[in-house]
Structure 1
Amino acid sequence: MTIVFLSEDHMKKNTLLSIMLSSCMIISLAACASGNSTGPQNSGSEASSDIPQASAAETTVNAGTDTSSPEEYQPVTITNMDNELVFEKAPEKIVVLSYDTAEILAALGLEDKVIGLAEADSSIDDVLPKYRDSVSKMPVIGGLSNGVPSLEAVLAMGPDFVYGASYSFMEQNAGKAQDYLDSGINVYGSTGTYSDIPTLEDTYLDIENLGKIFGVEDKASELINDLKNRVDAINSTEKSDKPLTVFVYDSEEDAPYTAGGSSLENKIIELAGGENIYKDLDSDFKSVAWEDVISKNPDVILINKYGGENDVQQKINFLKSMPELAEVTAVKEDHFVSASMLAVFPSIQNVEVIEELSEKFNEWK
């Protein structure tokens, strides 16, 4: 769920996370070789007829609270992706490059400022129900072959702010960040998509920064506090001395692609009360051997979902069809659970999946 010319594993990672690249090898979970759907980048899916269409971290601030009116707005300076961004006024015309970033804008009440939304490899159905109506009002950028618009297409829309994952801002995707800055357009990349080891704090920082940029700091603080309180509620519950062990099955049949210790998904599993069997793997995502998975005998298999439930069921069917996995606890006990790409990469859906996993782990103890 096409990115830079890096090592094979790094290339897979960036493609998947990139939310909007070409199909098969997605940044973090990628792969298409085996016939499994692979990642947030093969989209180009047509928008449904009821969705409007569009034509083609460090923070230093002198801002008040919810100062959305031009007369009250104080200049804001934010450092993001090593660029110093200066805002003399709140942006009015936003192009957003994925549903996860669109969801955050909707949570802050900024949906009316969005002039274009790139669907990447997701759909409106992947958005949390409470934000779906707001996000569905955002004009979808149509005619995209790989889910992401070109630099020229974005510039033609006349935005004053472009927001997406850091991988979106590459020459082969929506163009480099500097191209926009040279055109007088500020760009913001999700902090967790360029952190070495992403955490929930990265998303909290993004929400805080967006609150300052758009003068909606009260809403941002309220959202951050809600997310933190929900995680605290999970952490306050009694934890088992022996947590359930979890294998993340992202993609690939010959050599499964899984989440390692430096992935956000590893942290999500930990916060939910589980233990990633590859927590000691010094990588965010990496291919491993089935023999090693079998030897670790996971209690639960967490399936990364690309697209829809068909992808999940196909993966479960494949796992159950492997005779060598028949005695693995997760397979014997039918302990399969899934999470969408929006939920396991930096987004406000991270807390939702932590809650869901925690409930399942408690049920299966």
Structure 2
Amino acid sequence: MLLPRVVTLITGLGLSALAQAAPTDYPLTIENCGSPLTFQQAPTRTVTIGQAGTEMLYALGLGDKVVGTSLWFNDVLAEYKPQNDKIERLADNEPSFEAVIGKRPQLVAVELEWMVGPQGAVGTREQFHELKIPTYLLPSDCEAKDNLVGSDGTRLAPFRIDSIYKGVSQLAAIFDVQARGAQLNDQLKASLAQSIATAKRTQRKDLSALVWFSSAEMDIEPFVAGHKGVPDFMLSTLGVRNVVESDEEWPTVGWETLAKANPTFLVIARMDRRRFPADDYQKKLAFLRSDPVTRNMDAVKHNRIIILDAMAMQASLRTFAGLEQLATAISGFDLSQ
């Protein structure tokens, strides 16, 4: 669960903080993933394609500007449930183009580029822009990344946490809530620093991990975290090596290969969606403990398994709570076995 101090709706900003925040000077033009976006005023109707953007807007106090959501991996955070319950969910996964434009949005905020990229699962950016509907892509999924290579894209350079701060700042500027954006980013940076401090309590330096997101079927190669993506950043920040070396965001790798790598820890995603059988983390656990290959891995035999919300493994506000959870879990394991 995301710690309240990380992304709780920002309150108590104080008059001095508000006074120091320069208002947005409209028209505002920003460069977003290769496309210039111009806003004549703050949007009043926004559709989100992706939970990361949805919860980012909620954390910025902009829930009343959201008229439709989609693409959910986990249930909404408890503090946002009353607000979220008032907003139409267009789809649990990707919505149709017609459903999105039917809400008459002045902005579509998108978590994953493949939803509105050149081969957009929902539609292309050009289709939206022809209707004068700007699409804002979270920088974390398009900068230094080729989303046309691999099923979920390939990182051209390691994920940078600054891309999340950039998304917060740009959305805050678009909606003219810069003080809230600055406050939120300060909280996120403080959370990251705390996680790093917690991780330093672990004395061993040869720690490794495998991050298992899901599997299309339980008995085939799983989707695991590549070595330049968000989970890899989380692990390396805490001094842990990812045993998967692919540049793909979520490559498939055989269990024989993964078992041979014998990671110190296993990190498995917990999801509320049920697109694939392995979205259920309990089924993941049952597989790990019964399969003749996986049950002999040290992490399985000694129960060094960490359950993490899927959204913590995506570039989102939950990434920071995920880092805290990982750091606490790793520092608490008995590594003498």
Question: What interval of TM-score do these two structures reach, taking the shorter chain for normalisation?
Answer: 0.7 to 0.9
Structure 1 residue ranges (4+ consecutive) displaced by more than 6 angstroms after TM superposition: none
1:240 matches 2:194: no
Q: Quick one: which of 299, 317, 336 aligns to 2:264? A: 299
Structure 1 residue ranges without an equivalent (≥5): 1-63
1:1-365 mapped onto 2 (5 Å cutoff)? 65=21, 67=23, 73-118=25-70, 120-122=71-73, 125=75, 127-141=76-90, 144=91, 147-165=93-111, 166-170=113-117, 173-195=121-143, 196=145, 197-237=158-198, 238=200, 239-252=202-215, 253-278=219-244, 280-307=245-272, 311-364=280-333, 365=335
Quote how far apart the aligned CAs of 1:140 are: 2.3
Q: Which amino acid aligns with 2:21?
A: T
Quote how far apart the aligned CAs of 1:73 are: 4.4
Tell me if the contact between 2:226 and 2:247 (Cα under 8 Å) persists in the aligned partners: yes
- Alignment partners' CA distance in 1, 2:279 and 2:292: 22
Over residues 181-201 of structure 1, what are the superposed CA-to-partner deviations in whole Å (9 max), with x where a residue is unaligned? Answer: 111111101111223243321
Over residues 200-254 of structure 1, what are the superposed CA-to-partner deviations in whole Å (9 max), with x where a residue is unaligned? Answer: 2111100000111111000000001100111012223425342432112233433
Tell me if the contact between 1:168 and 1:174 (Cα under 8 Å) persists in the aligned partners: yes
Structure 2 residue ranges without an equivalent (≥5): 1-19, 146-157
- Alignment partners' CA distance in 1, 2:211 and 2:133: 39
Quote how far apart the aligned CAs of 1:86 are: 1.0
Tell me if the contact between 1:305 and 1:311 (Cα under 8 Å) persists in the aligned partners: yes
Specify the SS of the correspondent of 2:214: coil
What is the aligned residue count? 291
**Structure 2 CA distance for partners of 1:151 and 1:325, relative to 1, 3 Å:** closer
**Structure 2 CA distance for partners of 1:91 and 1:327, relative to 1, 3 Å:** same
Q: Which amino acid aligns with 2:252?
A: S
For 1:4, the equivalent position in structure 2 comes to none
**Aligned Cα RMSD in Å?**
2.3
- Alignment partners' CA distance in 2, 1:148 and 1:357: 29
- Alignment partners' CA distance in 1, 2:204 and 2:287: 32
TM-score by length of 2: 0.79
Over residues 111-141 of structure 1, what are the superposed CA-to-partner deviations in whole Å (9 max), with x where a residue is unaligned? Answer: 00111112x2435x2x233333333332322
Quote how far apart the aligned CAs of 1:322 are: 1.6
Tell me if the contact between 2:271 and 2:279 (Cα under 8 Å) persists in the aligned partners: no
**Structure 2 CA distance for partners of 1:205 and 1:336, relative to 1, 3 Å:** same
Over residues 3-36 of structure 1, what are the superposed CA-to-partner deviations in whole Å (9 max), with x where a residue is unaligned? Answer: xxxxxxxxxxxxxxxxxxxxxxxxxxxxxxxxxx
- Alignment partners' CA distance in 2, 1:242 and 1:219: 38
Specify the SS of the correspondent of 1:250: strand
Specify the SS of the correspondent of 1:242: coil
For 1:21, the equivalent position in structure 2 comes to none
308-317 or 295-304: which moved more? 308-317
Over residues 314-358 of structure 1, what are the superposed CA-to-partner deviations in whole Å (9 max), with x where a residue is unaligned? Answer: 111111112233332101111111222211111100001000011
**Structure 2 CA distance for partners of 1:287 and 1:122, relative to 1, 3 Å:** closer
**Structure 2 CA distance for partners of 1:134 and 1:361, relative to 1, 3 Å:** same
What is the percentage of aligned positions where both structures have the same residue? 25
Q: Which amino acid aligns with 1:319?
A: L
- Alignment partners' CA distance in 1, 2:53 and 2:95: 15
- Alignment partners' CA distance in 1, 2:51 and 2:254: 33
- Alignment partners' CA distance in 1, 2:299 and 2:196: 24
Specify the SS of the correspondent of 2:247: coil
- Alignment partners' CA distance in 2, 1:222 and 1:133: 23
